[in-house]
Structure 1
Amino acid sequence: MVHKLPFILMNIIIISDIHGNLEALNKALEYIDKLEGKKRVVCLGDIVGYGPNPVECLEIVQSLTDKICLGNHDYAISNTDLDYQMNWLALEAIIWTRAVLHKESKDTIKRFQVQIEEDNVLYVHASPDNPMAWKYITNARNAAPSIAGMKYPLCFVGHSHIPGIYADHKINRKAKKTILSKKGKTIVNVGSIGQPRDGSPLLSFAVFDDVNWNVEIVRLAYNYRETMAKMRKHNLPEFLAERLSMGM
């Protein structure tokens, strides 16, 4: 008689776009710590930029995982060739962050991966077809070219700060557990921990069950007022603080 070993549920928590927001990251970790079963974390990048706690957020994410993708704000810490593409708010925050991070942190960021490939899943910051073009996936139309060129049935992205599941030329923005297909192609945008932009101040990340192939977009409230106060203390642009309360 052959005894089949049971599949062990593995929750893969995918976080992205923390942007130096320590309060949001800590709130997400409270939820993650309570998840039952085996679990691990993948980070899709942009740990720094915009927010007031880049050093602390970088240290925490490093303690959680070595699976970290390179985001455009991470890249901009040691490279100035993207400066001209950034709006003045983002650039001012990047200049401040460059001054705050020590050499060891900058060297760590340089080692982040452009993309991470695991089994039938691709993890990347912006888009699967050209990761360092930093394209935004925000709707079914601009998701279509990326989906068409995918080699994997599933890809997790961040970058736009707008959560959604893209498949079959449709978008699912509901924060419910969704069963995924291994036969088709799906892009899951996990949204943003530290700076949501979908009209809600609730932080966002994804929990992926790699046995049953389902994903849930998790939304949580956090104390953004504390983050806003820190940003003002460091004289970061006022709009970057205000937008946290508006989810924009």
Structure 2
Amino acid sequence: MRDKIAIITDIHGNSSALKAVLDHIDQDTDIKHIYCLGDLIAIGHETNEVLEMLFSRKDISFVKGNHDEDILNILAGHKSTGFQNKIEHHDWIASRIEREFLPALASIPMTRYETINGKNFLFVHYHLNVEEKFLPIDERPTALELDTLYGDSNIDVVCFGHHHIVHHFKSKKRLYINPGSLGCNHSPLAPYATLKVGNSGQIDVSFIEVPYDNKEFLLAYEQLNVPAKDFILKVFHGNQHFR
């Protein structure tokens, strides 16, 4: 008997990519549950479509990302922080979000612990300090560094996102998995991961990329005049709209 879960993260307001992945997951009847590791919104402009799709399902558990947190802070009356493009973009996202989604978004925890077939899982957007603040991104992490960070905790598997590339580290202490950003990619592919946890403690990991049509999504940055659109299209989508 094996329990199988799906891991998605960093959707970033891209409903076309999200729909493609959820449709792909739904074809696998062995998948028992989906864990979403934050940054549901911002960068992408399809905020309400993404939240409607996610919150309408009963088989997804969430943790909060830094962009989710930033938008909630703006809506709570706090001023945006960071560079000007980020401030303008986040203010624009906050102004367009449907208020009906805010209670669900605000209720998302920073961390989630689960025991799956005897294995202890931590789900988190990114590694946290003792004050539950996100640590700076480590561009070249190693299993040894991650083991030092998590110490002698009884966590067997750490699932995280935030850094948009795939991570797959296995040490003597635990397994570390980041499936990569579902919504931000330099090609029309939406990644996610599945984990099968066996009764004997074995864990099978699969990284999956789902093709989807992102043309309308990319063109809408210009049509909607999304703040910081040039920066976003270059850095997070590799200027695919020019190809």
- Is contact 2:25–2:31 with CA below 8 Å preserved after alignment? no
Aligned partner of 1:229 in structure 2 is 219
Aligned partner of 1:59 in structure 2 is 52
- Is contact 1:163–1:204 with CA below 8 Å preserved after alignment? no
Aligned partner of 2:179 in structure 1 is 190
Aligned partner of 1:140 in structure 2 is 141
- Is contact 1:195–1:247 with CA below 8 Å preserved after alignment? no
Give the counterpart of 2:90 among 90, 94, 103. Answer: 94
Counting only pairs closer than 5 Å after superposition, residues 71-90 of structure 1 correspond to structure 2 as: 71-80=65-74, 83-84=80-81, 86-90=82-86
- Is contact 1:228–1:244 with CA below 8 Å preserved after alignment? no
Letter paired with 1:24: A
Matched, 1:31 2:21: no
Counting only pairs closer than 5 Å after superposition, residues 13-52 of structure 1 correspond to structure 2 as: 13-52=6-45
**C-alpha distance in 2 between matches for 1:40 and 1:66:** 6
Q: 1:186 to 1:54 in 2, by over 3 A?
A: same
SS for the counterpart of 2:104 is: helix
Deviations 1:92-136 (A, max 9, x none): 321111001132222221100111100110100011555532432
Q: Flag structure 1 segments of 5+ consecutive residues without an equivalent.
A: 1-6, 169-182
- Is contact 2:126–2:162 with CA below 8 Å preserved after alignment? yes
**C-alpha distance in 1 between matches for 2:146 and 2:84:** 27
Give the counterpart of 1:152 among 148, 152, 155. Answer: 155
Cα RMSD of the aligned pairs, angstroms, is 2.5
Letter paired with 1:186: L
Aligned partner of 1:173 in structure 2 is none
**C-alpha distance in 1 between matches for 2:79 and 2:65:** 12
**C-alpha distance in 2 between matches for 1:214 and 1:24:** 24
Aligned residues: 224
SS for the counterpart of 2:62 is: coil
Question: Normalising to structure 1: TM-score of the pair?
Answer: 0.80
Report % sequence identity: 25
**C-alpha distance in 1 between matches for 2:8 and 2:71:** 20
Shift of 1:27: 1.2
- Is contact 1:128–1:150 with CA below 8 Å preserved after alignment? no
Letter paired with 2:69: Y
**C-alpha distance in 2 between matches for 1:201 and 1:115:** 30
Deviations 1:77-103 (A, max 9, x none): 12146832x343333321111001132
Shift of 1:40: 1.3
Question: Normalising to structure 2: TM-score of the pair?
Answer: 0.81
- Is contact 1:18–1:194 with CA below 8 Å preserved after alignment? yes
SS for the counterpart of 2:6 is: strand
Aligned partner of 1:241 in structure 2 is 233
Q: Flag structure 2 segments of 5+ consecutive residues without an equivalent.
A: none
Q: 1:116 to 1:137 in 2, by over 3 A?
A: farther
Moved more, 121-130 or 108-117: 121-130
